[in-house]
Amino acid sequence: MGLRLALQKILVDTLGNNNVYFQPPQDFKMKYPCIVYHISKIHSSSADNTVYKTENKYELTIIDDNPDSAIKFDIAQLPRCAHDRSFVTSGLYHDVFNIIF
């Protein structure tokens, strides 16, 4: 299984439903609560002026109509995951995380 598909499975298991979308098109109709994610950059680890490991850094956005949703706390427990920001748009609550996977 590819690394992105392994991350997809972890996100589906954490969310508790299949509303996990990788780079959905603009006009895609989503069901809430959901997680939308995309690759934001390639993370490189180096030593002695040599890159020895490259990994994808993903930006995950949890979108929910419940302001008190516990999903963000479950996602925050994932290894190498950090909360970046929160915002509200069109009555939906967004929590953005970065994860290196």
pLDDT of 50: 93
pLDDT of 7: 97
pTM above 0.85, yes or no: yes
Enclosing H/E stretch for 15 = helix 3-15
Enclosing H/E stretch for 98 = strand 92-100
Rg for the chain, CA atoms, rounded: 15
Tens-of-pLDDT digits for all 101 residues of the chain?
Answer: 579 999 999 999 999 999 999 999 989 999 999 999 999 999 898 989 999 999 999 999 999 999 999 999 999 999 999 999 999 999 999 999 999 99
CATH topology of domain 3-100: STM4215-like (3.30.2000)
**SS3 of residue 24 by DSSP:** coil
Token pair listed for 28: 């895609």
